[in-house]
Amino acid sequence: MNGKKPKAAGFTLLEALVVMALLGLMVSLAAPAMSALRQQHQLQAQAEGLLDSLVLARSEALRRQMRVSLCARASDTACHASGDWQLGWLVFADANDNAQLDAGDMLMEVHAAVPEAMQLTVTNTVKAYFSYGPEGRSATLNGAFMAATWRFCKPGLESGWQVVSNALGRPRLEKVSAPSCG
């Protein structure tokens, strides 16, 4: 050894604190953007839940060769008479073709309420129920075709989602702009 003290490798406490402060600042700047992204994904998940329920109802109507309905949920065993879809929805095999969940009907799915911060609006053609007949087409109780749009929005987000079912009953998911969510 020539009398020189070896230099220690690593960071000083001051350097580590500066790095931690900068990292904290960057995370705090990114947090609001991540929050909006998380809210957008939650909104999309709700819309995809309805899309999945429609696909289930349509495929079960074809498989069972009978009417399968979705209705606005009042409870886990009853449909909402005025059609408040915000409270969730039920999917069931509608044995007596009345678009109401009765004792003899088989309940296939219960979807929980949409979170309060989100808004779910439905076109006026679909009040309390949406049904698929044995051939997989959407149909009212008297046999006329049904088409519907369910729109999922959240105030403050720049876009929302809608589930659209055409006259044949084929559902699809679409992104919509904030003005459409009004």
Can you tell me the mean pLDDT for 164-172? 91
pLDDT at 167 over 90: no
CB atoms within 10 A of CB 12: 9
Name the residue with tokens 């957008």.
40
Cβ pair 161, 130 in contact under 8 A: no
Q: Which candidate, 58, 29, 46, 37, places its Cα nearest to that of 85? A: 46
Average pLDDT of the chain?
89
Q: Which candidate, 180, 161, 160, places its Cα nearest to that of 172? A: 161
Model confidence pLDDT, tens digit, residues 96-124: 999 999 998 999 999 999 999 899 999 87
pLDDT at 2: 66
pLDDT at 90: 97
* Residue 169 DSSP class: -
Measured CA to CA in angstroms, residue 154 lies from 87, 106, 110, 174, 180 at distances of: 16, 33, 23, 15, 12
Can you tell me the mean pLDDT for 138-142? 90
pLDDT at 1 over 70: no
Cβ pair 95, 104 in contact under 8 A: yes
pLDDT at 182: 58
**Between 6 and 77, whose confidence is greater?**
77
- Cα-Cα end-to-end distance for the chain: 79
Cβ pair 71, 128 in contact under 8 A: yes
Model confidence pLDDT, tens digit, residues 12-71: 888 888 889 888 888 777 666 677 788 889 999 999 999 999 999 999 999 999 999 999
pLDDT at 127: 81
pLDDT at 8: 67
